[in-house]
Amino acid sequence: MGNLLCCVQVDQSTVAMKEGFGKFEQVLQPGCHCMPWFLGKRIAGELSLRVQQLDVKCETKTKDNVFVNVVASIQYRALVDKANDAFYKLSNTRGQIQAYVFDVIRAYVPKLDLDDTFEQKNEIAKAVEEELEKAMSTYGYEIVQTLIVDIEPDEHVKRAMNEINA
């Protein structure tokens, strides 16, 4: 609302971080709140509690030396009881998640042949989700779902495989 009236509105499915003279004071739930700016109170920012999705495309090599692009879809959200951790501890959530996904996929896929990579999509997704859950819970985030949505070999490999099958 207005700064003159010392009222702020926090929208549904979000929380706001209230600070007093630059120090965290409390997490404000959705609704209207009194914010006496002349006493050093302010909103540092808002945090969405909605489920967000990040698609990560990672190129890696299989055990039989075939380069593949693995696309993982990560669904995550900030936890309301750890909202201050989610807001203050991590500045680039999407970048952090992407780094962990790259790390796990590039460690897991090179142990598999190309055919096994397609067959073990669920195991790859499970490994990514377990690692992300451990890492991101420290920052106040929950991993809702992890899916491997696509495994795409290099175009030359696809063409060669089709020729063999033909």
Within-domain flag for 130: yes
pLDDT tops 90 at residue 133: yes
Q: How confident is the model at residue 1 (pLDDT cuts 50, 70, 90)?
A: very low
Is residue 1 one of the residues assigned to a domain? no
31 in the same domain as 18: yes
- Tell me if 2 is assigned to some domain: no
Q: How many CA atoms lie within 13 A of 103 on its CB side?
A: 11
Residue range 101-119: mean pLDDT, rounded: 92
The answer to whether the beta carbons of residues 128 and 105 sit under 8 Å apart is yes
Same domain, 43 and 65: no
Q: Is residue 39 domain-shared with residue 92, that is, in the same domain?
A: no
Averaged pLDDT of the chain: 90
| Residue 61 reports pLDDT greater than 60 | yes
C-alpha 166/C-alpha 116 separation (Å) is 22
In a domain, 127, yes or no: yes
Q: Is residue 62 in some structural domain?
A: yes
Residues 22 and 78 in one domain: no
3-state DSSP assignment of residue 35: coil
- 73 and 105 fall within a common domain: yes
Same-domain check for residues 63 and 119: yes
Which residues are CB-contacts of 33 (< 8 A; sequence separation ≥ 6)?
A: 7, 8, 9, 10, 16, 18
What pLDDT, in 10s, does the model give residues 5-47? 788 999 999 999 999 999 999 999 999 999 888 888 999 999 9
CATH number of the domain bearing residue 72:
3.30.479.30
Residue ranges making up the domain that contains 133: 52-165
Q: Is a pLDDT exceeding 60 seen at residue 2?
A: no
**Residues 86, 139: contact at Cβ < 8 Å?**
yes
What's the number of domains the chain is made of? 2
pLDDT given for residue 63 in this prediction: 92
User: Distance (Å, rounded) from C-alpha 88 to C-alpha 90?
Assistant: 6
| Same domain (yes/no): 108, 152 | yes
Residues 56 and 42 in one domain: no
What whole-number percentage of the chain has pLDDT above 90? 75
